[in-house]
Structure 1
Amino acid sequence: MEARSSMGIVAAWMLWFSGIPLELIDKCLSDSYTPSEALRSLHVALLCVQQRPEDRPNMSSAVLMLGSENPLPQSKQPGFFMGSNPPEKDTSSSKHQSYSANEVTVTELHAR
């Protein structure tokens, strides 16, 4: 399941970075959402999965971001991104030159 989630994050990031994030939304839902609210939700979601934990908002900040119309910070590369690194604006985390793919182990417990 983790790999599937990672692929969704990568797809979301690539579409966001390409300037077409609404491509993530199923066409059959086109009459049931407001594009500006969907874009804001996607933006906040990408902020929550950034590579560096200090760049991620905490839960109360994320809720405030969703409920306001204030400008949001620039989204950076997600933590499970395995492709090439897109250029970032001059920020504190963009000054780091080393990149690596995260390795994740998932343990499932089953009753006897």
Structure 2
Amino acid sequence: MLELTKTPHTDGTVCLTVTVPKEQAEGVAAALEGILRLVGEVSGKTVPAAEVLPDMTPGKVLRGARNLREMTQAQLADALAISKSNISEMERDVRPIGKEMAKRLGKALAMPYKSFLF
């Protein structure tokens, strides 16, 4: 057997490739980011989201998490007692997501609030 196939040459990193339907890509990316944050909290190591998912924004995480839970913007807005336009603006990264709103989003979407803070 060739040496190349016997020994992994990964310098401590692993490359993951995931194939999902296009409409679910953002939700999967948000879920992966949440997993990375949880692993980091457990292991004491953190990986900045920008390194793992360079195009990820708080709005994309929000949209992905909402879609993953099959919620409409109106349903999430009702759960948070805010307007649908606020949700839309946060998802488009027009309105920033502050710490208090991130906590409310985390509770409503059953995920760590830090996922919405970059």
TM range (shorter): 0.3 to 0.5
Greater C-alpha Rg: 2
TM-score, normalization by structure 2: 0.36
Q: Which has the higher contact order (CA 8 A, sep 6+)?
A: 1
